[in-house]
Every structure is written in structure tokens, then in C-alpha cells.
Amino acid sequence: MTALQYRNRLDILLYLIKHQQMLRVPIMAKKLGYHKSTLERQLKRLRAEGYVINYDATLKRYVLEE
């Protein structure tokens, strides 16, 4: 995978979070065709880039704190 492809995957993940469509990791990994650990690494990478991403148990989805 090229760096551009990886960045596109991160951007898609960020889009899903911003638009309140990012559910639990196992569900989203299956929908996106990723392995669970891949999706967890991508979330970790976005957090390392400065995005404050948390899982809201009451909403049952990931949210981006602004």
C-alpha cells in the first residue's frame, strides 16, 4: 500500500467519525473489509495526529471532540 492509499484510508475513517457513522471497531472492520487490529492502528494514528477521538458508550459510536 502506498502512502497516498494509507492517507486516503485515514481520511475515510475521519470522515466516518465526523459524520457520526463510526460504530464499534469489530462492526466497522467487517463493513470496511479491514482486520480489527488495522482499524485500531488507524484510530491510534489519527489520535497521534492530534484528533481527540473517543468511543461514546451511550451513543454506541466514536465521536470527535472539538
CATH number at residue 46: 1.10.10
Please state, in angstroms and rounded to a whole number, the distance separating the CA atoms of residues 39 and 25. Answer: 7
How many beta carbons lie within 10 A of that of residue 28, not counting itself? Answer: 20
- Residue written as grid cell 484510508: 9
Q: What is the pLDDT of residues 4-61, one digit of tens each?
A: 999 999 999 999 999 999 999 999 999 999 999 999 999 999 999 999 999 999 999 9
Please state, in angstroms and rounded to a whole number, the distance separating the CA atoms of residues 51 and 14. Answer: 9
- Our measurement of the distance from residue 54's CA atom to the centroid of its chain's CA atoms, rounded to an integer in Å, reads 10
- The total number of structural domains that make up the chain: 1
Please state, in angstroms and rounded to a whole number, the distance separating the CA atoms of residues 11 and 13. Answer: 5
pLDDT on residue 9: 94
For residue 66, pLDDT beyond 90: no
Q: Domain range spanning residue 15?
A: 3-65
